[in-house]
Amino acid sequence: MDTVKVSARSVPKAVAGAIAAIIREGRSVEVQAVGAGAVNQAVKAIAIACVYMKEENIEIVTIPSFAGIEINGEERTAICFVVEKR
């Protein structure tokens, strides 16, 4: 599964394009975000990706979860969104 990491400064349209490209290739993608700002950008990106995919008659779904990830040697909790074709 491919991984897309999102920060609070990520551009939602760019992230949505990355998500859509992976989905078009028939793969699933995990979108990872740490912090409220990053989660906000990730959710916007997933919503935009839904619109992109709907234009191509492809429906996508997302499954949220928590994951422990290491950032600069420090354990952090990330919100992960698995995005896949329905």
Q: What are phi and psi of 16, to 5 degrees?
A: -60, -40
- Please report the pLDDT score of residue 71 as a whole number: 85
CA dist 53 → 28, 38, 57 (Å): 13, 22, 6
Give the number of other Cβ atoms within 10 Å of residue 64's Cβ.
13
Structure pTM?
0.93
- Please report the pLDDT score of residue 34 as a whole number: 96
Helix (H, G, I), strand (E, B) or coil at 50: helix
H/E element, 53? helix 36-54
Average pLDDT score over residue span 68-84: 93
Helix (H, G, I), strand (E, B) or coil at 66: strand
